[in-house]
Structures are given as structure tokens and as C-alpha cells.
Amino acid sequence: MKFFSLHNDFVFLNLCESDSVGRPKTEKSIRFCCVYLFSLYICAMRVRHAGRLKRYMDCTLNVQGRLLSLEKPLVMGILNVNDDSFYEGSRVRGMSFVERAKDMLACGAAILDVGACSTRPGSEPVPQEVELARLHEALSLLDKELPGAVVSVDTFRGAVARECVQEHNVAIINDVSAFDWDKDMLDAVTELNVPYVLTHSSACRDLAADDFLPAVLKQLASKMWLLRQNGVKDVIIDPGFGFGKTVEQNYAMLDRLAEFELFDAPLLVGVSRKSMITRVLGITPAEALPGTVALGMAALMGGANILRVHDVKEAVDSVRLFLAMRGSGGISL
């Protein structure tokens, strides 16, 4: 059964058997039916926005009782307190971490994203206690030195999310796994009632070109429905560049980024120094800043609301130029 259409790309959902009067026989059938109904909702959202490309979202995120406006695109700065993130230049500890955070804010970062467990392809997650120890050290420094900063924690573990939000000045949970790697994450985000970054990271390298993007949207739709059912109000969509996708698929997704408008939610894009740049250009992550800037501008033109980057100043400059091009008075942010 076709359940929504995107520019002649069709996504199909196989609903389970029903009884003689059309009632689902199993709990799985009920869940599939609910996903189907949610798909109709997002289809309606797509129709609502048909004929116009949204360049930004006039909405807000509730961060610890404060409203963070998305009227203009924002920049999220990456701070890694681990030993094996793919870009060595992003790894900082101790007072160097604080200085890097201060520099990012001074350059115009709206959000600081702190991670202590690398999720690069092929990496082995560190034990939970190691991740927590690193985060407690880093977040305690931010609590003391930068108490007004909007801080996001990059983790896939529900217990880690709980401790960071409850014990530190953490306002956003950034989970690359879409609560697949730790089922407790959905309960944690529901309890904490903080903005949640929903990322597509399932492997889809073997999908045909025409099936790839509909599959990504379908999975995100089912996850979004679960979050809404659990009362999570602020959800940020991350298409998951570099997670389970080929280089070609990453660029196809970037080229059709406007399709993600159907979720009617803020869109975060993270392509900073990733392999989709280095493999095409034959360079290292350390040499990938120009490519990052180029793809960042492409993401803004496709409707991105948040750029997640290692290099804040260059991303903020891109936002300013984008706003100037759009005629939105973006000379001052």
C-alpha cells in the first residue's frame, strides 16, 4: 500500500493482516497502522508547503525555559573530549576545552555540542563509565566558566543523557542512533523533556537510487511518530550524512534536502570534514575546510536550520552570506 509520495518517489508500507471488519490482528499491525496514519500527516504537511521552498523556520526550541529562535540559521560547534574522533583537531581536554568553547561562542556559535564517545564508522564505543567521566569533567568546566551557554550532549546512551541533563547545564540531546543502540534513550528523552536530535543512521548502502531517500524518510517518520506519542515536543531532524550511506547517497540526499521539510521540524546538517568530502577530493579531514564551507552553503540553500561544524567562524560567515543573498539583513547575526 502506498502511503506517501514525494516527487514520484513512492514509499510502501506492508500493513499486517486484519480481521473480517478491518481491525488489526496484532500489536505489530496496530503499530504499522499508526505509522501509516502519521505518514498521512506528514504528506499533508508536504502539500501545505507545496510550491514554495522554505529557506528557514520561524520557530523556536525550548532550552531550559529559554526560547532559542530559528528565524535565522544557527551554528552548532563540535567539541570532542575523546581520543579517537575522526578529525584530530576536534579533540580537546581540560582548559584547552574551555578556551575552544569560549572561542566558538565568540565567533557566533549558538550551541556547543559535547561528545565523549566516538561514533565514527568502525570505532568501538568506550564503556559507559568512561564516557560519563569524560563528560562530567568537561561539563563541570562549562557550568563554571560558561553558565549561559546552550549545551548539547552527543550520546546514544539513555543513562548518560539523564545524568548530563540532571547534573549539568545541558539543554539538548544529540543521539546519532535514533534510540536504536540503547532502547532506554526513548524513555530518557521522554522523562527529561528536552530537545532531541533524531538522526538517521541505519545502513542503506545497498538500496537502489530510487529507493534510498524514501527509505530514509520512512524510518524517520516512524521514529518521529514514537517521539510524538511519548510527548517529546522539540525534535530536530538530522538526515545522518556519513552514517550507513555511500558517498553517492550522501550527495543525492544533500541535493534533495528540501524533501525533509515534510517533517515540519528544524533540520540539522552535519557534513563537517567528513569522508563525503575527503574521498571525492582525495584529501584528509585536516584539509577539508574549504569543502565543508561549500557543502555548508549548499545545505543552507536546501533549507538547513542548524549547521553542526568543527569550524564555527567559517560557518557563521557562510550563514551571513546566505542571509545577505536572500535579502534578510544577515550582515549582523
Q: Where are the alpha helices (DSSP H) in the chain?
A: 27-48, 94-107, 128-145, 158-167, 184-192, 209-229, 247-255, 275-281, 289-301, 312-326
Residues 90 and 28 in one domain: no
Residues 130 and 241 in one domain: yes
Entry pTM: 0.82
For residue 333, being part of any structural domain is answered with no
Residues 27 and 163 in one domain: no
pLDDT of residue 12: 34
Task: Name the residues annotated as catalytic.
Answer: 274, 308
Residues 7 and 101 in one domain: no
Torsion of CA 28, 230, 228, 63, to 10 degrees: -150
For residue 257, being part of any structural domain is answered with yes
Residues 190 and 313 in one domain: yes
For residue 331, being part of any structural domain is answered with no
pLDDT of residue 17: 45
Close Cβ partners of 232 (under 8 Å, ≥ 6 residues apart): 189, 190, 193, 196
Residues 295 and 202 in one domain: yes
Residues 21 and 125 in one domain: no
Report the number of distinct structural domains present in the chain.
Answer: 2
Cell readout for 157 is: 546512551
pLDDT of residue 41: 54
273-307 pLDDT, tens digit each: 999 999 999 999 999 999 999 999 999 999 999 99
- CA pair distance 157, 232, nearest whole angstrom: 17
Domain extent for 8: 1-52
For residue 7, being part of any structural domain is answered with yes
Q: Please check whether residue 150 is in contact with residue 68, taking contact to mean a CB–CB distance below 8 angstroms.
A: yes
For residue 304, being part of any structural domain is answered with yes
Q: Please check whether residue 223 is in contact with residue 178, taking contact to mean a CB–CB distance below 8 angstroms.
A: yes
52, 70, 86 — which closes off a domain? 52
Residues 190 and 126 in one domain: yes
Residues 27 and 94 in one domain: no
Residues 44 and 184 in one domain: no
* Overall residue count recorded for the chain in this entry: 333
- The residues that bridge with 66 in the sheet, in sequence order, are 63
Residues 145 and 255 in one domain: yes
Torsion of CA 311, 316, 318, 321, to 10 degrees: -160
Q: Give the CATH number, domain containing residue 211.
A: 3.20.20.20
Please list the ranges in the chain whose pLDDT falls under 70.
Answer: 1-58, 84-91, 93, 120-122, 328-333
Tell me the CA distances in angstroms from 102 to 151, 167, 226, 320, one per residue in order.
Answer: 12, 21, 37, 20
For residue 308, being part of any structural domain is answered with yes
- CA pair distance 231, 330, nearest whole angstrom: 35
Closest to 137 (Cα-Cα) out of 168, 166, 176: 168
Closest to 115 (Cα-Cα) out of 98, 94, 92, 146: 92
For residue 185, being part of any structural domain is answered with yes
For residue 104, being part of any structural domain is answered with yes
Residues 5 and 154 in one domain: no
